[in-house]
Amino acid sequence: MLDAVTIEKGLASGGQILNTEQVDNYPGIPAVGGFDLGMKLREHADSLGAAFAEDEVVRLELAGDVKRVVCREAVYETRTVIIATGAHHRPLGVPGEERLVGAGVSYCATCDGAFFRNKVTAVVGGGDVAIGDAIFLSRMCKKVYVIHRRDELRGAKSLQEKLFGLPNVEMVWDSVVDEIRGDSRVEGLKISNKKTGETSELSVDGVFIAVGIMPEKDVYDGLLKTDAAGYIEASEDGATSVKGVFAAGDVRTKQLRQVITAVSDGANCITSVERYLAEQ
Ligand SMILES: Cc1cc2nc3c(=O)[nH]c(=O)nc-3n(C[C@H](O)[C@H](O)[C@H](O)COP(=O)(O)OP(=O)(O)OC[C@H]3O[C@@H](n4cnc5c(N)ncnc54)[C@H](O)[C@@H]3O)c2cc1C
């Protein structure tokens, strides 16, 4: 019975999970496609009468009892705000990267992998996402290099075992990408070995960057207490440093960034909002 609206700038609800081929760790819905999971969540919300606005929040005014949520198309005045703007991929920040995005540089193997059938690709990173991407790409690419700046991976051991058993995957240890080369498309990578200082060229058709995520902080930057990386500091009930403002999902400080923890945060935040409004 709260007068609430969810503001979503994307064309479809679901956030990052929309780009995931398969989700195997959401309880009760085994082996569900990421897009389907997003749709299921949205349909459930729709069936309960939740209101959605397709709009982009451009500014938040959070001081005072009535907050203003300024969007491209409308301005909302509200007593409480739940920030759930999520996160996005961290760029490598090397020459050639920005210029060749969409022309061989990708941040999503499951979205773009099919474009590299029978081609040579590289994955940069050493966590679960990087390993998952390399395994996924190995099924369609002729060869997959995994470039990691250390001499061991950070990702789950079970995934590592699977990766090391793949005949068309080659590990490039202790190495970083210095430059992504190519005129109109990716043609190769300039890499250097951090231990020996040696530089070399790797001929690839595509590079998948999986070096972590950053919070989507543009709308709240400077308005709330955050950690050094910009994630919103929030307690278990979702409360932030500003009264009436709560944070849920990948955008907040937490141990594990997954759908199930984002959903749990959402449940906590809604309960906190109800309690906050009742106490006002
Ligand atoms: C490749 C990949 C694979 C993954 N695989 C799994 C998996 O198998 N299992 C799992 O549990 N998790 C997985 N995750 C993690 C999971 O997707 C995230 O933890 C989860 O999506 C976080 O949800 P969220 O709602 O907090 O943020 P997000 O999913 O990032 O959603 C944030 C939403 O806010 C919207 N938004 C942002 N800024 C604005 C604005 N200014 N105005 C309006 N709307 C805005 C965005 O459009 C987006 O829809 C994966 C992530 C990736 C990238």
Q: pLDDT digit string (tens) for 198-239?
A: 999 999 999 999 998 899 999 999 999 999 999 999 999 999
Which CATH superfamily groups domain 6-88+213-279? FAD/NAD(P)-binding domain (3.50.50.60)
User: Which atom of ligand 1 sits closest to the CA of residue 58?
Assistant: 41
Confidence of residue 63 (pLDDT cuts 50, 70, 90): very high
**Mean pLDDT for all residues in the chain:** 94
Residue 112's alpha-carbon distances to 22, 52, 102, 234, 250, in angstroms, are 15, 29, 9, 35, 23
Query: In 3D, which of 134, 131, 151, 144 has the Cα closest to residue 194?
Result: 151
Encode 76-95: b = buried (16+ Cβ within 10 Å), e = exposed.
eeebbbbbbbbbebeebebe
- Token output for 242: 């500003």
* pLDDT tens-digit map of 3-56: 999 999 998 889 988 877 778 889 999 989 889 999 999 999 999 999 999 999
DSSP character at residue 44: H
Query: In 3D, which of 273, 191, 209, 195 has the Cα closest to residue 237?
Result: 273
The answer to whether domain 6-88+213-279 and domain 91-209 are alike in fold is: yes
User: Which atom of ligand 1 sits closest to the CA of residue 23?
Assistant: 8
Distance 83 CA to ligand 1 centre (A): 13
Which CATH superfamily groups domain 91-209? FAD/NAD(P)-binding domain (3.50.50.60)
216 lines ligand 1 (CB under 6 A): yes
| CA atoms in the 13 A half-sphere facing the CB of 72 | 7
Asked if residues 57 and 181 have their Cβ atoms less than 8 Å apart, the reply is: no
Distance 258 CA to ligand 1 centre (A): 8
**Distance of alpha carbon 123 from alpha carbon 33, whole angstroms:** 22
pTM beyond 0.85: the answer is no
Q: What is the pLDDT of residue 109?
A: 87
Q: How many residues make up the chain in this entry?
A: 280
Domain ranges of the chain: 6-88+213-279, 91-209
| Alpha helices by DSSP H, the chain | 34-47, 109-112, 128-138, 157-164, 259-279
Q: What is the pLDDT of residue 25?
A: 86
Q: What is the pLDDT of residue 102?
A: 84
Q: What is the pLDDT of residue 111?
A: 73
* CA 204 centroid distance within chain: 25
* Look-up of token digits 């994307």: 10
- Token output for 128: 């679960």
**Distance of alpha carbon 171 from alpha carbon 71, whole angstroms:** 46
Confidence of residue 131 (pLDDT cuts 50, 70, 90): very high
When pLDDT is averaged across residues 141-149 and rounded to a whole number, the result is: 98
Residue 241's alpha-carbon distances to 235, 246, 265, in angstroms, are 9, 9, 16
257 lines ligand 1 (CB under 6 A): yes
In this structure, the number of other CB atoms found within 10 A of the CB of residue 12 comes to: 12
**Distance of alpha carbon 218 from alpha carbon 86, whole angstroms:** 11
Q: What is the CA radius of gyration of the chain?
A: 21
SS3 193: strand
Confidence of residue 256 (pLDDT cuts 50, 70, 90): confident
Q: What is the pLDDT of residue 223?
A: 98
Amino acid at 96: G
Query: Which of 17, 37, 59, 265 has most ligand 1 atoms within 8 Å of CB, for mutation?
Result: 17
- Token output for 133: 């991407």
Q: Which residue has the least CA distance to atom 14 on ligand 1?
A: 258
Does the active-site annotation cover 112?
A: yes
Asked if residues 184 and 103 have their Cβ atoms less than 8 Å apart, the reply is: yes
* pLDDT tens-digit map of 78-106: 999 999 999 998 999 999 999 998 899 99
* CA 179 centroid distance within chain: 23
* pLDDT tens-digit map of 109-120: 877 888 899 999
Confidence of residue 280 (pLDDT cuts 50, 70, 90): confident
pLDDT cut 90: percent of the chain above it: 82
